[in-house]
Amino acid sequence: MSKKKNTKVLLGRINGPHGIRGDVVVHSYTEEPEAIADYGELTDAAGGRPLRLKVRRVTPKGVIASVAGISDRTAAEALKGAELWVERSQLPDPEPGEFYYEDLVGLQAVDREGAQFGEVAGVVNYGAGDLLEIRLKGSRSTELVPFGEAYVPEVDLAGGRVVVEWPLRFEIANEVEDAGAEEA
């Protein structure tokens, strides 16, 4: 892979203030939401704006936390939308079969025969499970593929690739496009 891997990993995002004493609501991406404070100082993606969180409690809305140096709602409001990043070296190695999203970005997307058709542009989760966002080769468009063994049977970090088994709807769409091209 020619792309430089990100040395930081996104752990969460501040959704906004909570109450009048400077607490914030944090959307945590850690396995245990309250663990976001276990990594010490968090920064923005560029490494600036250091923030240290202290978890007050976990609610369905997110993690309620105080931020060192923030003591009123106005200051907490200014943090709304702030991303919370940590150095990749501070994270434990993932268990076998588990991956940090940042480690997947930039991997080549190949079919079972090894033909590259795209690159992993990102990993998203809209609530029903992780999805790989694949930027198609020679195109600016992307497709979302469920990130599960049925559709992504192999992840080879060392080799810089993921094997993707396209869902049936893509196969049908391609067949329709191929049939239309033959008729023209």
What whole-number distance in Å separates Cα of residue 97 and Cα of residue 156? 11
Q: Name the amino acid, one letter, at 132.
A: L
Q: Interior CA angle at 163 toward 161 and 164, to 5°?
A: 125
Q: Does domain 101-183 have CATH number 3.40.50.970?
A: no
Which pLDDT score, from 0 to 100, does residue 7 have? Answer: 80
The confidence score (pLDDT) of residue 38 equals 94
CATH class of residue range 8-89 = mainly beta
Q: Give CA–CA dist 7/29, Å, rounded.
A: 17
CA 172, 173, 179, 183 dihedral sign is: positive
**3 state DSSP class of 101:** helix
Per the prediction, the chain carries an average pLDDT of: 87
Report domain extents, the chain. 8-89, 101-183
What pLDDT was estimated at residue 172? 42
DSSP 56-96: EEEETTEEEEEETT--SHHHHHTTTT-EEEEEGGGSPPPPT
Ranges of the chain whose pLDDT falls below 70: 1-6, 167-184
Residue for token pair 């979302």: 144
Name the one residue in this structure whose structure tokens are 């990130």: 147
Judge if pTM exceeds 0.95: no
Quick check: 82 and 13 in contact, CB under 8 A?
Answer: yes
How far is CA 183 from each of CA 10, 14, 169, 176, rounded to the nearest angstrom? Answer: 48, 53, 21, 11
- Which residues partner with 84 through β-bridges? 12
Other beta carbons less than 10 A from residue 12's beta carbon: 23
Pair of tokens at residue 125 = 């989760």
